[in-house]
Structure 1
Amino acid sequence: MRFTPQLRALDWLVAKPIAHRGFHDEKNGHVENCESSFAAAVAQGYSIECDIQLTKDGQAVVFHDDDIDRVMQGHGRVKDFTTRELKAMSFKQGKDRVQTLAELLEQVAGRTTLVIEIKSLWDDDFTLTDHALNVLADYTGPHALMSFDPDLVARVAATSSGTVRGITADRVIDPYYEPLPVAKRVAMREMSHLPQSQPHFISFDYRQLPFQPITEFQAAGFPIITWTIENDAQAKQARRWCDQITFENFVPA
């Protein structure tokens, strides 16, 4: 572990491994991004990474995908359902129901660190970001916001400068990014948006490290966390380049 002023200030962020979408185990009924997986993470002493999406009625719900098809008994995009409609739906496994961000905060109640990813539809809409900041305004537990979308992180920096924020990132080589404007993809790949987004940390794909912009950010004293680690060998590799791992499907040493 390095000892820079930035790391000392964020020692709570990198103090323990971060359970990706909670400590989920669908075979035993602990569904990702749900109350059961978050309870398991707290019980095991891990930090929690989770995702939020915007509903039709303007609420932040804890959910990863843009649509519900993969994990729920239903079809459609999260943004096209109200919070009540989503809560009435069943997951394909387990007995959990969709949680709002406010409900997650009430459940965790400061007992562990929350690293909350704001999912982006790349539509320049700050509604979800602003809503999350409003919900978190009175929450005193350790928490951070992050996003792949640097414009959302810049929004956090501009409207709530005291909120710890990070960039979730990779080398921007996946076809997923092709619909984005070239200038935005270049800025994301080269991290040239940093003066605007002003992140306190970066969460990076461990498989694509080392990578010069990340090495330079770390050399400047800022923490790096990595995603998503699935076994001890990957954890050993990732820890060569980062200050903490985000993991799933195994118990880190």
Structure 2
Amino acid sequence: MRAPDWLTARPVAHRGLHDAVSGIIENMPAAARAAVAGNFAIECDIQLSADGEAMVHHDYELGRLTEGSGALIDKTAAELKAVRFKQTDERMMTLSDLCSLIAGRVPLVVEVKSTFQGDHRLVKRMAEVLASYSGPVVGMSFDPDQMLALRETMPDLTRGIVAQRTYEDGYWAKLTQAQRDSMLHLKHGFSSQPHFVAYWVQQLPAPAPWIARNVFGCPLLSWTIRTQEQRAIAARHADQMIFEGFSPET
């Protein structure tokens, strides 16, 4: 399967077209509406609730952007849908809510967040939601195991791997060395079989995404583009950017 042309046709708004100064917070409904208005594809994150729902949120815990506290996995979908984003009247969405909101008007790039413990319930719920959605959508994850789950559960869905050159910073401390090593250099590619790669701009260029792009024909997205310097790197080494904090039209 080849990645669809629309995946790289337009810049991808990271967690929607958000602007905290204007009161539009990442992954909330207003960010999705703004991306639709700008005709940008929407990258979003999904997390698992206690009762198996796919919630649109990046963080594993409440509190950075929302009211409340505690892990999302310990709360039901109903509880999470009542959570309000700070200094707004908007609430957290489910993936189904987001699909209804954008209604196929712009592409959707769904990142499956993972605890790297082999739990595939989030992919299963994603498959259930997308079974009745006809808009353009792809899935991706940092976790090669979730990639395999996407491949097995939704074989017709375009899937991508989110990657970087090293995994030694604090964010990855929760993983074992073996888990981190398994993610290096896209060496899982022959089993996960990604259709595209999303790579950290700070570590471009790099051999693995170059090979994926130029030898195997996988489109390369670069994340997260916030500066003109990063935009120039993405233009040189990738096919499209996942951006935030500025307008790609300027």
In the alignment, which of 235, 242, 248 is matched to residue 244 of structure 2? 248
User: Which of these residues, 11, 21, 25, is aligned with residue 27 of structure 1?
Assistant: 21
CA RMSD of aligned residues (A): 1.3
C-alpha contact (below 8 Å) 2:123/2:153 kept by paired residues: no
Instruction: Give the Cα separation in 1 of the matches to 2:132 and 2:81.
Output: 25
Shift of 1:124: 0.8
1:210 aligns with 2:210: no
Kindly indicate whether residue 187 of structure 2 is the aligned counterpart of residue 188 of structure 1. no
What does 1:229-244 correspond to in 2, within 5 Å?
229-244=225-240
Alignment equivalent of 1:92, drawn from 76, 79, 86: 86
2:67 to 73, 86, 104: 73
TM-score normalised by length of structure 1: 0.94
The aligned residue for residue 145 of structure 2 is: 151
SS in 2 for 1:53: strand
Q: Which secondary structure state, in structure 2, belongs to the residue aligned with residue 66 of structure 1?
A: coil
Name the % identity. Answer: 43
Between the aligned partners of 1:38 and 1:134, the Cα distance in structure 2 is: 21
Report the CA distance between 1:221 and its aligned residue.
1.2
Task: Identify which of 41, 44, 56 aligns with 1:47.
Answer: 41
Match in the other structure for 2:162: 168
Q: Which amino acid aligns with 2:54?
A: A
1:104 pairs with 81, 98, 112, which one? 98
Question: In the alignment, is the contact (CA less than 8 A) between 2:204 and 2:233 conserved in 1?
Answer: no
2:46–2:57 CA contact under 8 A, matched in 1: yes
Q: Which letter maps to 2:4?
A: L
Per the alignment, do residues 86 and 159 of structure 1 end up closer, same or farther by CA in structure 2, a change over 3 Å counting? closer
Distance 2:23 2:177 in 1: 42
Moved over 3 A (4+): none
In the aligned structure 2, how far is the partner of 1:70 from the partner of 1:216?
37
Residues 80 and 12 of structure 1: CA distance in aligned 2, closer, same or farther (over 3 Å):
same
Contact 1:147–1:166 (Cα < 8 Å) also in 2: yes
Q: Any gaps of 5 or more consecutive residues in structure 1?
A: none
> Structure 2: any 5+ residue segments left out of the alignment?
none
What one-letter code is carried by the residue in structure 1 that aligns with 2:127? L
Show CA shifts across 1:79-98 (max 9, x none). Answer: 11111111222211322100
What is the rounded CA distance, in whole Å, between the counterparts of 2:89 and 2:133 in structure 1?
27
Q: Output the TM-score relative to the length of structure 2.
A: 0.95
State how far apart, in whole Å, the 1-side matches of 2:84 and 2:155 are.
38
Q: 1 CA distance for matches of 2:234 and 2:105?
A: 26
How far apart are the structure 2 equivalents of 1:32 and 1:118? 16
1:180 is displaced (CA, Å) by 2.0
